[in-house]
Each structure stands twice: as C-alpha cells, then as structure tokens.
Amino acid sequence: MRVLRIAMAQMNPTVGDLNGNVHRIVEWIGEARKSQADLIAFPELAITGYLPEDLLFKRQFVNDNLRALKEVVRACRGLVAVVGYVARSGQAQPKVLQLSSDARGRQPLYNAAALIANCRIVGNCHKGYVPRNGDERRYFRSGQQPPLLVINGLTIGVSIGEDLWCSEESVRAQVAAGAEVMINLNASPFQIGKSRSRERFLRTWARKNGVIAAVVNMIGGHDESVFDGNSLILDQSGQVIARGRAFKEELLMADVSLAAVRHRDGASGRTSRLPRKTVSTVERLLVKLPSTKGARVHIMSRVAEPLKEVEEIYQALVLAVKDYVRKNGFTRVVIGVSGGVDSALTAVIAADALGVTNVLGIFMPSPYTSHESEADARELVQNLGIQLNVIPIASTFESYRQLLAPAFGERSTDLTEENLQARIRGNLLMAMSNKMGHLVLTTGNKSELSVGYSTLYGDMAGGFAVIKDVSKTMVYELARFRNAQGPSPVIPIRTLDRPPTAELKPDQKDEDTLPPYRVLDPILQAYVEEDHSVDEIVAAGFDRATVARVVRMVDNSEFKRRQAPIGVKITPRAFGKDRLMPITNGYRSIEE
C-alpha cells in the first residue's frame, strides 16, 4: 500500500457533552469506513470539547471521558482512528516538566490522542508543548516523545496542537525516525489572519521536512472562542491537496501518495543531526489493516476557497452566536434596536445565525430619539422580517427624574440623566428576557468598550456581546459587506451614512466625546492590542494630546470592562482572558 486514504473530521463538539460528542465521532468513523479510509483523525480534545477548564478538576468527568473513549474504540473496526481526549497517568515525568503536586493527590492529566486500530488502543500521544502562559498549563502536564504509527509499512507521526509549531525536537525526532506523514490534531481558535499564517507555516514545514502534513482543526463556538476549521492536507512539497471549508462541519478526505515522500532528497527534517539517543526514543507501533477488497477508486479531494477577511470575520460572528445560543439551551434572542449601525449589525448577525423567527427587536424611543432613528429601526426589522416591539421610555424617564429630584437638589443635568435612559432600556430588555426566556444580545463594540463609552447596567446589560471585539470601523465594513450579499441592502443606507450618536441628549454625536473613529481605532489597536507606549503611538503620527486622552479613558474604564458580558474573540488581544489589567491600579501610562 503506497497510497494512504486520510479522512479528517472537522467537527463541532460541545464542551462537556461526552455522549453527544462520542455519538458524532462514531458517525464520522462510520462515514470514513464507507469511504474506505485507512485513517481518520479528529480535533484536539474531541471527546471532551476544547477546553473543559475546571471540569478537569472533577475526577468523575475525567473518568467519564475515559469511558466515552471505550465506546469510540469499539467503533474502530478495519481502520485507524486518532482521537483527542484527556488521559490520566501516574507515570513520573522528567523533573523539568513536573508541576507541583495537587493537594488532593490527583494524578497528572495529559492533553492526549488515542491511537486506535481494529477496536484496540495501540498507543497514546501526549501533547508535549503546553504553553506556560496559556489556559492548558493549569490542567495538563507536558508529555514525552510521541510514538510513530506504522500502518501496513507506512510510517505516520502524530502531534497535537502547538507541538508541530513549538515542540521542535520531538517532531524532528519523529521525522528523523522515518515519519512519512504527520497527523496534527488542532483546536486553534479563530482570529483575524490566523488561518492564512497557519497555512503559510505548514507549507514551509512540509516542504522543509519533505513530509505530508495533515492538520485537522475543529469548528464551532465555545464561550469567547470560535473555531474556524480550515483543515489542511499538504503534500511533501508544501502544495495543498485538500482544504476544509471555514466554519463548516465536514469530513475532508484525500488520497496521499507516499512514493514521492520515500524518494525525497535532502529534506532537512530527515537529515537533521539529532542525537541518536533522541531518535531511538521514538516508539514504533505496528498496525496491520485488512487489504481493501477490489480496486479502490481514487477520490478527488476538496480544496475549498479561503474566505476573504471581512467574510471570515462575519462568518465567525454568526457561528459564535448560533453555538452560544444553542449550546446554552436558548432558542431565541432579544436585541435593543436603536436605528444605529451597532444594533443593526447585531440584529442581522443574529437573524443569519438563528433565523428571523428567533430574533425579537425592541425599539425604546426617548425624548431625544430622532425621527430618522425610528424610521431606520423600522426599515431594518422590515427588511429582516423579525418581530418588533416598541416600548417608549419617555414617561419612565420623567418619573425617574421626578423621583430623584429631591435628592439631586439644584444640581444641573449631566451624564447621570443620559445613563438613566440607558439603564431603563437595560431593565426593559432584561424584563423581556425573563418573561419570554430570550437571551439578551448586547450591541456595544470594542471601540466603545475600550474607552468606557458605555453604561454599566444599561447598554452593557445582557448575556452575550456579539461585537465586543469588533472595532467601530470594522462594524461599518461588516455592515457594508452584509448589505452586498443580497439583492438589496438589509441595513438602511442612512444608518451607515449618518454620524453615530447615542441620542441621550439633544443633538448628541459620538465625536462630541470621542476622536473620530478613523483616528480612535488605530490608537486603540496600538495601545490595547499591541501594547505600544504613548511615545511609540505618537511617533507613528498621532497627536500627543489625542493619544493621551484616549489612553486615559482606556485606563480608567477597566472596572466597567470587568463587568461586561462575554463576547466573541476575533483579534489577537480581546478584552477578557487576553488582557487582564488590575482594576485597582496606581500605575499610569501617561503623566497626570
């Protein structure tokens, strides 16, 4: 056998749903068997979903994951399956890799892949590179040298996640020991541009090592993360043989010829000088598969077209909303629509994710709401076909003012009255959520959240922040992209052309408080996402006073962001786990 038929299950697991995940894995195995695949690979931690976080501290959860693996093993008749799961082991690890022992005496856990052949586990691969600054370090130990699978004479290496990128010696050892194909299980979350950089790396890696590379990546939304798929199979020269679709479940298959791998010359991975002792530690697991009955018809592998950046971001947001709502037991959502671009984009994403019958819009005009905003909000919901409820807040706002008047005394009107309107709206949305069982989607963008241009317990009140990691300028790009997808614009053109405004006081515009977004967003990217200093940002061509004002607003708003709902991560540095600043913080980036 010099041709290996590889199947890669680009699946969408749910964290903790062991039975559901195993059921889907067994279905994929059945499909692979019907297609006469020799090997099927699943994403990293496919059985548990990625990442189970502190569920891993529960002994019962780890035990149930091991029992679930046994069900998968029973399904692997006549083929090899590489399946991600959580392994438990009492074996001592090298001192340099050891973590402090658990006070309750828990055995070490490994992010692992079970190597299954003919209904039997023939070996395991433990992830070697567990980043010290990542979530996995809290739960997993680093594994030792992964083995090689030798299937009917063909030599297959297996790696997990960043091992292919960062655990260079162990992967090089597999290549030097004879690996002809490298299978990599991945759970790589989406961020802008990541799939393209991943493919560039893999092209170089395959060409440099002269090895066929097959990387399977999961899809789906989990809390703040969304996984994009874009699984890849590349030949030994770095050419793409098969590429999975973005954000879609599918079984990606390809016939790979190992003849060219065997006859390669000068591949640095094969000829690299590694100590004999290192290469000799690579275990070889021999597997015999039954010969395929009759001639196997060559399959044409699919090479899906990569998405353009703006479409990729839009699809990421749609899938993230769909999965967060569905996986958390909701079916419908409620959104406050204002006639502005942020709420319009959020409503369109929700409708695309859940269907128009599952989206409820609430329009809540105040004394400062313009006729244009009401007209645009009504046009939006009509274009979308979603239900709209109109709940005016003028009388409620006035009653609040009268109620507070004795306490406020002679103090003049200020931001307090603006925030009152936002909080009334937040209360109404949460009331509809409680009564109807809908999840509230908030509509604030990253630019606003960065500088605190938002109201605690007002427009920040809700269950999921769809565009939390989307800058205001990108909001407009996404809105225009979505408008171009149909025969006519779904978001009113006037919504995109009008100056953005919160409409919480007469003739209000965002630029009364903030720099223009075309100036603000690059400063925020430099300061929040890239950690540049004020001097560095000024040196890039920005006005010092403007930079200082923006930085001050960012630094002073951490307490708000810590109370914001979770939202989708699409940039390299999202608010939440990516950026953990102390709220009580005496350090300032600028001199006061």
**For position 459, what pLDDT does the model report?**
95
Ranges for all domains in the chain classified under CATH 3.40.50.620 = 309-505
pLDDT at 189 over 90: yes
- The beta strand positions in 196-243, using DSSP E, are 212-217, 219-222, 225-228, 232-234, 240-243
Check: CB of residue 3 under 8 Å from CB of residue 256: yes
pLDDT at 271: 44
Burial 480-511 (b: 16+ CB within 10 A, else e): ebbbeeeeebbbbeebbebebbbbbbeebebe
Could you tell me what percent of the chain has a pLDDT over 90?
84
pLDDT at 97: 33
DSSP E strands, 56-189 = 80-88, 109-117, 121-126, 148-151, 154-160, 181-186
Query: pLDDT of 375-421, one tens digit each?
Result: 999 999 999 999 999 999 999 999 999 999 999 999 999 999 999 99
Percent of the chain residues topping a pLDDT of 70: 93
Per-residue pLDDT tens digits for 149-182: 999 999 999 999 999 988 778 898 999 999 999 9
Higher pLDDT: 41 or 282? It is: 41
Domain 309-505 has CATH 3.40.50.300: no
Report which secondary-structure segment, H or E, holds 102: none
| Residue 468: Cβ-neighbour burial (10 angstroms; 0-12, 13-18, 19+) | buried
For the segment 199-255, what is each residue's pLDDT rounded down to a tens digit?
999 999 999 999 999 999 999 999 999 999 999 999 999 999 999 999 999 999 999
pLDDT of 328 above 60: yes
- pLDDT above 70 for 90: no
In the chain, CATH 3.60.110.10 sits at 3-91+105-287
Q: State the pLDDT at residue 96.
A: 32
Q: What mean pLDDT is predicted for residues 267-285?
A: 65
Which numeric CATH code is attached to 3-91+105-287?
A: 3.60.110.10
Give the tokens for residue 442: 């908030």
pTM of the model: 0.94
Alpha helices in 268-408 (DSSP H): 268-271, 276-280, 309-327, 341-354, 371-384, 394-408
- 3-state SS of 401-418 is HHHHHHHHCCCCCCHHHH
| Rg of the Cα atoms in the chain | 27
* Window from 169-173, 347-351, 544-548, 586-590 with minimum mean pLDDT: 586-590
pLDDT of residue 483: 98
DSSP state of 181: E
Q: How many CB atoms are located within 10 Å of the residue 150 CB?
A: 17
Q: What is the reported pLDDT for 91?
A: 34
Average pLDDT over residues 58-66: 97
User: Which residues 6+ apart lie within 8 Å of 117 measured at CB?
Assistant: 76, 79, 80, 81, 149, 151, 287, 289
Whether 477 shows a pLDDT value over 50: the answer reads yes
The predicted model gives 31-59 an average pLDDT of 97
Q: Say if CB 340 and CB 375 are below 8 A apart.
A: no
User: Taking 50 as the threshold, does the pLDDT of residue 98 lie above it?
Assistant: no
Average pLDDT along the chain = 92
Mean pLDDT of 277-298: 79
What is the structure's pLDDT at 580?
A: 87
